[in-house]
């Protein structure tokens, strides 16, 4: 078995661990608490990440881990797992559907593997460097359109765009054909399968929100960067944008600039 396949198999195993925990909590009674920074937290976030860390520490003791709930461990390693057990905790905690478990592996800081797992829908987006992107067992590709006037745009919660971001956000949304809001990580999966053409998030993201999205979008043929066109990875923070073609992405970046 090649090394990358072993990594992918482990990532899928992590998703399989998270799914039953997330489903049981979603169908049950989930109490939402808050971290010191005011962001939402549930016991499910903690339970999933704890189980993930236990497996990874046993299987790859020399790999680093960066998780939203328990921080970093050995992140100077060549390989670092980047974990967000429940991305979209606000939605999860209020029994909405647009949340995901995000699993990524970075090599020298660059995301080479990503999973966007939607446990309630039994839908799993995967991207592996050099091996394409899939939705469950089906290969997926971005739309490939270049005309912004025809584009379908997914925008994060408007409250996440602040200060000088606001007019840039407004310029972009005014030039597209259709807009949806607060799609979260699932929107990037939808972009990878050609159902959305542009995804835009504001300046409130961290590596565990970002890294898993990158291989899924890139391996499906799309582009994903920061707002200024910078590559994304283990040390990325802030706003990101993804597009369903390189040509469309250049146009989007021009608008954001």
Q: Which token pair is 114? A: 């990503």
Residue 152 CB contacts under 8 Å (≥ 6 apart), including other chains: 176, 177, 178, 179, 180, 195, 196, 197, 198
68 labeled binding residue: yes
Q: Which token pair is 126? A: 């995967």
Residue 240 CB contacts under 8 Å (≥ 6 apart), including other chains: 199, 200, 201, 205, 210, 213, 224, 225, 226, 227, 232
Q: E strand or H helix at 19, and its extent?
A: helix 3-27
What phi-psi label fits residue 67: left (phi over 0), alpha (psi between -120 and 50 degrees) or beta? beta
86 labeled binding residue: yes
209 labeled binding residue: yes
Cα–Cα dist 231/243, whole Å:
14
CA angle 22, 25, 29 (to 5 degrees): 160
Cα–Cα dist 244/247, whole Å:
9
Helix axes 246-256, 165-173, angle to 10 degrees: 130
Q: Which residues are annotated as a binding site for Mg(2+)?
A: 68, 84, 86-87, 209
Tell me the binding residues: 68, 84, 86-87, 209
């Amino acid at each position: 078995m090649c090394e990358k396949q072993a990594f992918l198999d482990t990532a899928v195993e992590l998703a399989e661990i998270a799914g039953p925990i997330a489903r049981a909590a979603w169908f049950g009674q989930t109490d939402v608490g808050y971290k010191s920074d005011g962001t939402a937290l549930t016991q499910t976030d903690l339970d999933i990440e704890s189980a993930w860390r236990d497996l990874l520490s046993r299987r790859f003791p020399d790999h680093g881990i960066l998780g939203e709930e328990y921080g970093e461990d050995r992140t100077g390693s060549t390989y670092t797992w980047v974990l967000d057990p429940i991305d979209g905790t606000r939605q999860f905690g209020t029994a909405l559907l647009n949340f995901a478990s995000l699993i990524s592996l970075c090599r020298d800081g660059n995301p080479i593997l990503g999973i966007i797992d939607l446990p309630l829908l039994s839908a799993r987006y995967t991207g592996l460097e050099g091996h394409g992107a899939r939705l469950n067992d089906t290969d997926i590709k971005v739309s490939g359109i270049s005309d912004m006037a025809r584009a379908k745009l997914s925008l994060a919660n408007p409250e996440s765009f602040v200060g000088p971001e606001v007019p840039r956000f407004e310029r972009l949304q005014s030039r597209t054909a259709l807009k949806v809001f607060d799609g979260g990580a699932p929107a990037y999966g939808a972009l990878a399968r050609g159902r959305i053409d542009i995804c835009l998030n504001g300046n409130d993201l961290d590596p565990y929100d970002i890294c898993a999205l990158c291989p899924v979008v890139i391996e499906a043929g799309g582009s994903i960067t920061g707002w200024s066109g910078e590559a994304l990875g283990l040390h990325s923070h802030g706003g990101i944008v993804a597009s369903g073609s390189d040509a469309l992405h250049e146009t989007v970046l021009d608008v954001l600039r």
